[in-house]
A = this chain, B = another copy of it.
């Protein structure tokens, strides 16, 4: 079972999920599409996000994947159900894994969520958490300022004052658990932790999504076989374990990807217009 897993995101944020997939599921092959040309999705109307996400899905389906991951909270909140309803293969979003991890980790009664305007407005985390726990208080904060900061690779010194300002309401809310409800945020998790303080448990939806993917692939009998032969021989050369596509500038995508994944990478440009309906 060596079919690929397709991963889609509005930009580079989903690479946090890819990094965790490479760590937790190192035998899987991944095809990634980042729609950087139209990033951020977070403040767009829902219909547009659905339409863009469907284009990414159609592109990924040309690789005949065994599963798809919507590695973007905004796209998951807006489009997961639509993608699921038409995809011929299982589709995992990032919100359910993050919500379940928040329930698993919290020992208190108040969970905080930060995310894009669209993610927070959708109430997707509240819905997912309340499906099993209706006694928890969920306090949500739109923090859209953080996405461009990651996409553009701001240095810490420049980012710090933005973080201090944006996260001030989170600090005041005194949450015990804080969901990083945007796949960009794990890239600056250390900085966020510094600002909110060491007593707040951060929930990294990238880590959790890769873990749930491992669970689901195992349960569905879709896990890649651990074939050393396959990994070492030239089949590996012919189809590397990670192919990256972007609708935006390949060079700047590559810079972020190489810094985050700590390896040399090729990035291919793609035009999604051929996949519009």
Contact = CB atoms under 8 A, between A and B. Distances in A.
A130 B27 CA distance: 11
B226 A26 contact: no
Interface string A208-236: 10111011101100010010000000000
B211 A101 contact: yes
A172 interface: no
Given A96-B215, A96-B218, A134-B226, 20 more contacts: A24-B103, A24-B132, A24-B133, A25-B132, A26-B135, A100-B211, A100-B214, A101-B211, A103-B211, A103-B214, A104-B207, A104-B210, A104-B211, A130-B226, A131-B218, A131-B223, A131-B226, A132-B214, A212-B215, A216-B219
Interface in A97-111: 97, 100-101, 103-104
Interface in A1-43: 23-27
Q: Identify which of A26, A207, A211 gathers the most chain B CB atoms within 10 Å of its CB.
A: A211
Contacts of A223: 131-132
Q: How many copies does the complex hold?
A: 2
Interface residues of A, number: 29
A100 B20 CA distance: 13
